[in-house]
Chains A and B, each alone.
Chain A
């Protein structure tokens, strides 16, 4: 009984001491508009359409991002260039509906569409949040600057097996060594 009382009193006193001590500590708040915290590179913010190392548009207008988007905010029209490669004639993201889930980035086979850490994109009217291809397209490769889809896929394999970019050498079935 006696020990339980002292224990209780000590527990409560410790709580009061803690709050009193915190009263004189410097707050740990980051005052946002004045101070900005550096965000991780993979933060999901404003979306960009990137280019491959040769400076060509990566997007092949496959509609996968548009198909996977849970809120259907990506729309585009595919077209074909003279060399037979596809591209998006127009490409539009409605950011007033986008929930920044990042599914489009996951679905994209060419790493064209990417989310960036920039998040300050609020506007006065929803119409200003309609981003066209010109607004989305950037002049760099984003997170994977040396990836080029057409060097890996859609080209005839001429060399030996296992010599293509990113291809593993074939497994030797005659040996058990790893």
Chain B
């Protein structure tokens, strides 16, 4: 009994380590990819000095961030100021724990599921953690004792709460179709038809709300550079700023993988192994987000709220009703 427990524990640690490492690497190189792609869209080269094709740029950035002075502004709430970036980054990383990245592996007769934890309420965990991420923004902005940070935080909280709703509602049809809250089951359900073909509307709502959730252009009001300097992380520097930054890109990877899991069939795909398919799908989602960032201007605050409350939420609700009715008709 103890033997199984120990083996299980070791396996868990290995999986955790591998997933975390892969996630951080993905996030670091996503930053580079984003800078490169944005640059090419603006007919520039982008970072190309550190290493061949600028491939060492993430490492250079890391060293730079660590070497910078960690400034805590006067009048800041020191403890909250220190912990807020950690909240933002760890919430982003924890979501990845429920994402399955392959079929279960059989090693020496043991069945090893390729997911850190197969929670039976995975979808709820995802939504809960992404809501908790709001605290990083809110506390960071509040504790900075600066008007720009506070304005950014207020905007961030308003935006994230408004878009949480359509985000959650757009996942309800997925749960209805797969009869499960577990991400592993959801992926298994899509082995033939990814849900994007069955629920394109849900996919669109999820994608838009996810983009608002991670505060990217055109929804980057909380850090609107030309109005708020850098929004909620204006006062942060050094590694703490790095954590906010990292959290943002980890969320991008996680949301890419969640989009893949919920709508694009997760790790399912012909010919290639599951992990590669998942990576390809994450990269595709990330590319589209970068493309959008390179193309669209920022929305106005009221347009953002209007879109969330008056358009996405009602459409998502109607979508749920229609899906339910169709499911009932099929089963009857």
Contacts and interface: CB of A to CB of B under 8 A. Distances in A.
A16 B43 contact: no
Interface stretch (B33-41, B158-166, B221-229): B33-41
Contacts of B291: 16, 19-20
B295 interface: yes
Interface stretch (A24-32, A85-93, A130-138): A24-32
Contact of A25 (B37, B43, B294): B43
A27 B45 CA distance: 6
A67 B158 CA distance: 58
Contacts of A27: 39-40, 43-45
Contact of B43 (A12, A28, A31): A28
A29 B45 contact: yes
Main DSSP-derived SS at the B contact region: helix
Contacts, number: 34
B139 to A, nearest CB: 36
Contact of B41 (A22, A28, A31): A22
Contact of A22 (B43, B45, B296): B43
Interface residues of A, number: 14
B258 to A, nearest CB: 24
A15 interface: yes
A22 B295 contact: no
Contacts of B296: 12, 15
A23 interface: yes
Interface string A53-84: 00000000000000000000000000000000
A19 B39 contact: no
Nearest to B293: A19
A23 B45 CA distance: 10
A31 to B, nearest CB: 7
A145 B150 CA distance: 61
A29 B41 contact: no
A28 to B, nearest CB: 5
B217 to A, nearest CB: 12
Interface in A17-47: 18-20, 22-23, 25-29, 31
B44 A29 contact: yes
Main DSSP-derived SS at the A contact region: helix
B253 to A, nearest CB: 21
B191 interface: no
A22 to B, nearest CB: 5
Nearest to A16: B295
Contacts of A29: 43-45
Contacts of B45: 27, 29, 31
B42 interface: yes
Interface string B270-304: 00000000000000000000010011100000000
B41 A19 contact: yes
Contacts of A19: 41, 291, 294-295
B303 to A, nearest CB: 13
A13 to B, nearest CB: 10
A144 to B, nearest CB: 39
A15 B296 CA distance: 8
A39 to B, nearest CB: 21
A26 B40 CA distance: 8
Contacts of A26: 43
A23 B291 CA distance: 10
A137 B41 CA distance: 47
B37 to A, nearest CB: 7
Contacts of B295: 12, 15-16, 18-19
Nearest to A21: B41
Contacts of B42: 22
Nearest to A13: B295
B47 to A, nearest CB: 12
Interface in B172-208: none
Contacts of A12: 295-296
20 contacts: A12-B295, A12-B296, A15-B295, A15-B296, A16-B291, A18-B295, A19-B295, A20-B41, A20-B291, A22-B40, A22-B41, A22-B42, A22-B43, A23-B40, A23-B41, A25-B43, A27-B43, A28-B44, A29-B45, A31-B45
Interface of B: 37, 39-45, 291, 294-296
